[in-house]
Amino acid sequence: MPTGSAGESVLYEEKLWPAPWIWMVVAGAAVASVFTFIPISIEAGIVAAVVVAAVLTTLLVLSTPRIRVTAAELQVGKAQIERRYLGDVTAFTGADATAQRGTELHGRAYLCIRGWISPVVRITIEDAEDPTPYWLTSTRRPEQLKAALTAPAQGG
């Protein structure tokens, strides 16, 4: 089982990889670059396609956030918090998830949202010194993330 930064076991881990259709957009952009540069030369078009595909793939991979839950902490993207500061955890799917990302969204919430992943989990923050009311994160496995976050926390 993977371990966290302090050697504790990881209760849940997920990378919010782009959906297949996003990769098709990358391929389409690469093909379009061929046609853009064909008037110069076919070689320039091929080089442009390779460069466009490499740059877009690199950007997507480097910007893919991770959700990691250990017994002591939660990490969502670049943010992390000790689990002792977590309150209620609620999973949303369908229209409820859409409302959480839109009309029900609090302006101070921390967001880790990916448009290609519909379900979200809202994690209430109970730190008196933190103005963030909750974290809202996309997840492909909302019930599993909720279960990991509602398991007994450690640390203190």
Give the tens place of pLDDT for each residue, 113-148: 999 999 999 999 999 899 999 999 999 999 999 999
How far is Cα of residue 137 from the mean position of the Cα atoms in its chain? 7
Point out the least confidently predicted range of 7-16, 20-29, 78-87: 7-16
1, pLDDT greater than 50: no
What's the pLDDT at 63? 94
> Pairing relation of β-strands 73-76 and 86-92?
unpaired
**Of 75, 77, 82, 72, which is closest to residue 62 (Cα–Cα)?**
77
Please check the confidence at residue 156 and state whether its pLDDT lies above 90.
no
Query: In the 8-state DSSP scheme, what is residue 85?
Result: G
**pTM higher than 0.85, yes or no?**
no
**Quick one: tokens of 86?**
């977590």
HSE-CB of 114 using CA atoms within 13 angstroms: 20
Average pLDDT of the chain is 91
Q: What is the pLDDT of residues 3-21, one digit of tens each?
A: 455 567 899 999 999 999 9
Amino acid letter for position 19 = A
Q: What is the pLDDT of residues 40-74, one digit of tens each?
A: 999 999 999 999 999 999 999 999 999 999 999 99
